[in-house]
Amino acid sequence: MYKSLDPKTNHIEINREKHYSTSRQLAVKLLCQECEQRFSCKGEKWVLSNGFRGQGNFPLQSLLKNSPPLYRTSSGLVFPGAVINGVDMDQLCYFGASVFWRAAAYRWHEEENIDLGAVYAEEFRRFLMGEVTFPSRAVLVVHVSSAEKPMEGA
């Protein structure tokens, strides 16, 4: 996903010794090859193919723009993703769960960790391994930007 951003887009990297602007993607080896493949096949490939791919190329946004919303809220439109042809809610859900689980599984910095708690961390792990269905006490909300240029100024 990082590669689809404007190559001139930098982020600020901060550590105890220094801080600097860089376009380098932050990455860490977290998963074995089998799990990397599982995560890729069950969510990442679909999201990367249908998410923001550069200005004028945002397939998921286009699908929603051409679909009637269920209702409007003060913060936007709500769509019935499960019934919109071309939207794969299983892939979106798997990808979203994998992002949160990975963010909690690796300790980037003590003050910036996501803590799912022991119960949710295990429930999400088991879901991602295909052992159980999505945790019944969890909710995943997917926000899709309606902006014509969603990454402008990012």
Lowest-pLDDT range, 13-22, 64-73, 87-96, 134-143?
Answer: 13-22
Q: What is the rounded average pLDDT of the residues 121-125?
A: 93
| pLDDT confidence of residue 147 | 85
Q: Is the pLDDT of residue 60 over 60?
A: yes
| Residue 9 clears pLDDT 70, i.e. is over it | no
Average pLDDT of the segment spanning 106-134: 85
Predicted confidence (pLDDT) at residue 113 exceeds the cutoff of 80: no
Q: Assign 3-class secondary structure to the chain.
A: CHHHCCCCCCEEEECCCCEEEECCCCCCCCCCHHHHHHHHHHHHHHHHHHCCCCCCCCHHHHHHHCCCCCEEECCEEECCHHHCCCCCHHHHHHHHHHHHHHHHHCCCCHHHCCCCHHHHHHHHHHHHCCCCCCCCCCCCCCCCCCCCCCCCCC
Interval 35-57: pLDDT, tens: 889 999 999 999 999 998 888 88
5: its two tokens: 């951003």
Say which residue, 52 or 3, is predicted with more confidence.
Answer: 52
